[in-house]
Amino acid sequence: METQGKVIICRAAVAWGAGEALVMEDVKVDPPQRLEVRLRILFTSICHTDLSAWKGENEAQQAYPRILGHEAAGIVESVGEGVEDMKAGDHVLPIFTGECGDCRVCKREGANLCERFRVDPMKKVMVGDGKTRFFTSKDNKPIYHFLNTSTFSEYTVIDSACVVKVDPRFPLEKMSLLSCGVSTGVGAAWNVADIQPGSTVAIFGLGAVGLAVAEGARAKGASKIIGIDVNPDKFPLGREAGISEFINPKESDKTVHERVMEITEGGVEYSFECAGRIEALREAFLSTNSGVGVTVMLGVHASPQLLPIHPMELFQGRSITASVFGGFKPKTQMPLLFTQCLQGQLNLDLFISHQLPFKDINKAMQLLHQGKALRCLLRL
């Protein structure tokens, strides 16, 4: 390709400050260095991690100017020295947490937080040389990276450990959902909780991740899935995902865990906290069966509050764990998930609530912020 080895000037949505509207402008994107890949992003969407970073909820994460975005799909434009598992023209997904394949975590079954390329909200430069690959087009000032990916740009440079090849038969607009939210929820049900057929499930928070948990639980044959959310507008989509009963905490004079205990006659085998609220985590834990209950935490908790569980409560037969990217090893395990989606095991159409051009990214941000969107798919 004629752009290989050259600086590319393209459009990107740049964050210049916490809570400020993203600015659509021309940026320079350097060629990939050793073990890096430059991608042409075709589709990207916004998840709550992007929204949190945009709002500047964690001061330690703030570095401006910055290009956000991590849920996307695209095509390889060029590869740097040493990249052997992909080439220009390949269809790929950028993944916010990578897999080097060589560290002790990557070599251990059941672990997915690579020692070198694990998700790091504080990371703002490339691993190889500690520098950025983005610059302003007018005065050549550095623009920082985000979550190993920075997909709110027509072109981006990513460590090859954070890029997964996709069979070209798969529609990239749907596959983009698997680079974060859907995989996080489905994997929590399949890999982390390992839901068994006939079991009962409670899901706290029915955003994209919560609905993905429901899809995963339905696919594994759960007998009863209970959805908990304060927004009843989410319930119709929940039914499509396999949720049979709903609880709105605002409409009950009992606590949520008391209602779950009544519905299930003793509590669910699995509960999933997808709201990022400490109160929801406590209720999720108490909603599980004393003896076999497992709680999986998926919500991102910005609050400084500690885990709301007394150590002695763990002696009652309940356990609690957390999950990043659904426990998936990106390069090793994601290809099978792609195939399962192609076979119809998961309904990805369920998650796309809006489709907008890239220039409308601020509108998409507001829709998610206002709770009016599940996933806004942006076409670049």
Q: Is 180 a catalytic residue?
A: yes
Q: Is 100 a catalytic residue?
A: yes
Which is catalytic among the residues 40, 66, 118, 257? 118
Alpha-carbon distances of 190 from 214, 216, 229, rounded to whole Å: 11, 7, 22
Which is catalytic among the residues 38, 70, 91, 282? 70
Distance CA 377, CA 95 (A): 17
Q: Is 283 a catalytic residue?
A: no
Distance CA 336, CA 365 (A): 31
Which is catalytic among the residues 10, 106, 162, 274? 106
Which is catalytic among the residues 47, 162, 341, 376? 47
Which is catalytic among the residues 180, 274, 341, 376? 180
Please say whether the beta carbons of 147 and 15 come within 8 A. Answer: no
Distance CA 93, CA 70 (A): 10
Which is catalytic among the residues 38, 48, 218, 282? 48
Q: Is 376 a catalytic residue?
A: no
Q: Is 114 a catalytic residue?
A: yes
- Element of type H or E holding 24: strand 23-29
**Which DSSP letter does residue 365 get?**
H
Distance CA 179, CA 187 (A): 12
Tokens 């929820």 map to which residue? 185
Which is catalytic among the residues 40, 77, 100, 318? 100
Which is catalytic among the residues 11, 25, 57, 103? 103
- Element of type H or E holding 369: helix 361-369
Q: Is 10 a catalytic residue?
A: no
Which is catalytic among the residues 91, 99, 114, 145? 114
Please say whether the beta carbons of 89 and 51 come within 8 A. Answer: no
Which is catalytic among the residues 49, 97, 151, 156? 49
Distance CA 157, CA 98 (A): 14
DSSP string, 43-104: EEE--HHHHHHHHT-SGGG--SSB----EEEEEEEEE-TT--S--TT-EEEE-SS---SSST
Q: Is 103 a catalytic residue?
A: yes
Please say whether the beta carbons of 362 and 51 come within 8 A. Answer: no
Distance CA 286, CA 253 (A): 17
Q: Is 116 a catalytic residue?
A: no
Q: How many CA atoms lie within 13 A of 4 on its CB side?
A: 13
Q: Is 133 a catalytic residue?
A: no
Active site residues: 47-49, 70-71, 100, 103, 106, 114, 118, 180, 375
